[in-house]
Amino acid sequence: MVKKTGKKRSSTKRRCGLCGKTTNLTRTDCCGNWICDDEDKYKAFSYARNSCSRNHRRLTLCAYHHMEEHEGRWQDCELCRDGFETEMYVWYGTNEYNFEKLENPPSFEPTRCADCGKIIHLGADGYSMQGGKYWCEACSRYT
């Protein structure tokens, strides 16, 4: 008879820190976390977000900080902070492509369409811009 202890075994199997898959993994250059080695799935100019590796590499402060060769932690980096509009800084630091998210992100006024006033989420919505003004996807057709 085997006695149950109620303890779970800890898994030593490698997993993608973003999606949880356990095959075809690599480590990120920036933070050394395990991630899917799946950039080959991305189709050029599709804007798809189907690659864990590409999403982390292109859409996080972690990767940006590393690529720009900034010193220290990305969470404390003034160069990273000053490199983006506040809304995009917050999005790059808190989106689902991060292994570690920015704690206490700064507040910001939402970006609004110059024509209709609709809120534009710069990290996720389609838009156009010129001269410091933004237009939502619908109004961009007329500018």
57-68 pLDDT, tens digit each: 999 999 999 999
Cα separation, 32 vs 108, in Å, equals: 31
84-141 pLDDT, tens digit each: 999 999 999 999 999 999 999 999 999 999 999 999 999 999 999 999 999 999 999 8
Report the relative pairing of strands 127-130 and 133-136 from DSSP bridges.
Answer: antiparallel
Domains in the chain: boundaries: 15-39+48-108, 111-140
